[in-house]
Amino acid sequence: MTALLDDPLDAAALLRAGALVAFPTETVYGLGADARNAAAVAEIFAAKGRPHFNPLICHFADADSAFAEVRADARARALAARFWPGPLTLVLPRRADCRVELLAGAGLDTLAVRVPAHDLALAMLRAFGGPVAAPSANRSGRVSPTSPAHVMEELGGRIAAILDGGECAVGVESTVLDLGAGGAALLRPGGVPVEAIEAVIGPVGRPLSPEAAPAPTLRSPGLLLSHYAPVLPLRLDAREVAADEALLAFGPPLAGAAITEQLSLARDDREAARRLFGALRRLDAEGRRLGLRGIAAMPVPGGGLAPAIRDRLARAAAPRG
């Protein structure tokens, strides 16, 4: 049985006992465990079916607690001051006395850290008082959850509890930025636009497009090409749609689809990000019920959160393998 919790103190108590607890953040729901507890961290990988080479993000109540585990330079401190709490994850060198289990970081000498901008998450993290390792609370390779119902669909029965914070405000995961020796590099576009990061620390190395960089690299081991996959095939940059397809619309919808979900009629990138994963889930479920051939996605051009949306759609459309 997976319990639905209202009180972040109950969630913290379960974490202390070594249990897995899904909790809301501003981006997506995370599947949390005590990052200092090897057995609890191993349970995360098992519950998600996640490969052990894919490292987890550690969540903290504030920047000082995060920087007690990793070495922060001036760039990291400037970014934390500007964007935390918020949807930015920093990959930094582990300190020699870092308490986070090596398994949580997939054995790397770096650790990904962030302070989420969500009142319930912060209350839970403060009460818990230690690092909480948390990937998105979905089965590995599937669409990230942005509501407690999504988490229940993905992991119900496999985890102790879900802290109920309703729908997530941002809707796509955090931006992952590597601040290692090679200079700042964007590992995953996300909730903080890269332009906003560059306004603080100057030029950031951009990733290759998901299509151009199919293999996970040592620097970003988790960037598997096929990810966020609905069960129905997804077709990108649709300019027309067939009667046996579901449509993911952005702006005035193409005519003729069997069913349609609108990301943002006004083409607002933030509204579209908030609606993205829920819309994909609904189209997939309803499309399968109706026996449709697949999902056609209209182009989502522009900057801001649009690059994160395009990244998730490209991964969702990639061949499974």
Q: Draw the binding track, 80-99, toward ligand TXA (x: CB under 6 A; -: no contact).
A: -------x-x-x--------
47 near ligand TXA, rule: CB under 6 A: no
In the chain, what are the helix, strand and coil shares in percent, each to the nearest 5? 30, 20, 50
264 near ligand TXA, rule: CB under 6 A: no
CA distances from 70 to 49, 57, 178, 219 (A): 27, 12, 13, 17
Minimum CB–partner distance for residue 91 and ligand TXA (Å): 4
Q: Which does 2 bind (CB under 5 to 8 A by kind): ligand TXA, Mg ion, none?
A: none
Among 42, 102, 108, 127, binds ligand TXA (CB under 6 A): 108
Closer to ligand TXA by Cβ: residue 176 or 232: 176
Q: Which does 281 bind (CB under 5 to 8 A by kind): ligand TXA, Mg ion, none?
A: none
Cis, bond preceding 85 (omega within 30 deg of 0): yes
- Per the CB < 8 A criterion, the answer to whether 36 and 99 are in contact is yes
Residue in 227, 239, 223 with CA at minimum distance from that of residue 312: 227
Among 146, 147, 174, 260, binds ligand TXA (CB under 6 A): 174
Q: Which helix (H) or strand (E) holds 262?
A: strand 259-262
Task: Return the range that interacts with ligand TXA (CB under 6 A); candidates 129-137, 159-167, 279-287, 296-304.
Answer: 129-137
Q: Which residue has the tokens 């026996």?
A: 291
Q: How many residues of this chain interact with ligand TXA, rule: CB under 6 A?
A: 29
Site for ligand TXA in 182-211 (CB under 6 A): 187-188
Residue in 132, 311, 307, 154 with CA at minimum distance from that of residue 220: 311
Contacts of 221 (CB under 8 A, 6+ apart): 53, 54, 55, 106, 108
314 near ligand TXA, rule: CB under 6 A: no
Contacts with Mg ion, residue ranges (CB under 5 A): 136
- Per the CB < 8 A criterion, the answer to whether 279 and 172 are in contact is no
Closer to ligand TXA by Cβ: residue 173 or 245: 173
Q: Which residue has the tokens 């990108």?
A: 236
Alpha helices in 97-178 (DSSP H): 119-128, 148-155
Q: Draw the binding track, 27-46, toward ligand TXA (x: CB under 6 A; -: no contact).
A: xx-x----------------
308 near ligand TXA, rule: CB under 6 A: no
Residues that bind ligand TXA (CB under 6 A): 25, 27-28, 30, 54-57, 87, 89, 91, 105, 108, 110-112, 116, 134-136, 173-174, 176, 187-188, 220-223
